[in-house]
């Protein structure tokens, strides 16, 4: 995994950044993509299926209510720093209203995505996987 990340960053000339310098919504923006890639990788590892079936399975993990549920599963193992990052994301005002999600679940999901984004930008990939594994059980 680290070889891929190093190759990816070197090839695209991506420099390490200080994730503390990014707004919680920027962290959620990248965290959403990282989480989505991990979940899609998990779903396709379960076996080859028609794309619409893969999409339905993936949706069960990535919708706001599922992310809120996942957060509740991991909340008790977060460090103080991680919980504070989550809270910043949860409390950020995005200016959009979810059309298919409860507002509370949407905010919790945004906080969760901000946490994933922070950990990703901080190169803490093992911690991301640890949290997701715990959350999907």
pLDDT of residue 1: 64
Residue 44: helix, strand or coil by DSSP?
Answer: helix
pLDDT of residue 45: 94
pLDDT of residue 94: 78
Residue 22 phi/psi, 5° resolution?
-105, 150
Compute the mean pLDDT over every residue in the chain, rounded to the nearest whole number.
93
pLDDT of residue 55: 94
Q: Where are the domains of the chain?
A: 20-136
pTM given for the model: 0.93
Asked whether the beta carbons of 82 and 112 are under 8 A apart, the reply is no
* Residues with catalytic function: 32
pLDDT of residue 31: 98
CATH dotted code for 20-136: 1.10.1520.10
Where does the pLDDT of residue 66 fall: very low under 50, low under 70, confident under 90, or very high at 90 and above?
very high
Nearest to 81 by CA among 29, 135, 122: 122
pLDDT of residue 6: 85
Q: Which of the two residues, 6 and 107, has the higher pLDDT score? A: 107
Q: Which of the two residues, 36 and 5, has the higher pLDDT score? A: 36
3-state class percentages of the chain: helix first, strand second, coil last, to nearest 5: 75, 0, 25
Where does the pLDDT of residue 39 fall: very low under 50, low under 70, confident under 90, or very high at 90 and above?
very high
Residue 78 reports pLDDT greater than 80: yes
Query: Average pLDDT of 95-111?
Result: 85
């Amino acid at each position: 995994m680290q070889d891929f990340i190093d190759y990816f960053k070197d090839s695209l000339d991506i420099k390490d950044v200080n994730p503390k310098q990014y707004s919680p919504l920027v962290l959620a923006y990248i965290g959403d993509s990282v989480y989505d890639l991990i979940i899609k990788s998990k779903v396709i590892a379960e076996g080859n299926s028609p794309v619409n079936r893969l999409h339905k399975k993936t949706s069960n993990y990535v919708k706001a209510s599922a992310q809120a549920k996942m957060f509740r599963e991991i909340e008790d193992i977060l460090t103080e720093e991680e919980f504070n990052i989550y809270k910043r994301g949860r409390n950020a005002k995005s200016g959009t209203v979810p059309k298919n999600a409860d507002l509370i679940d949407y905010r919790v999901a945004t906080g969760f995505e901000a946490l994933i984004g922070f950990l990703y930008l901080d190169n803490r990939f093992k911690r991301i996987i640890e949290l997701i594994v715990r959350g999907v059980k």
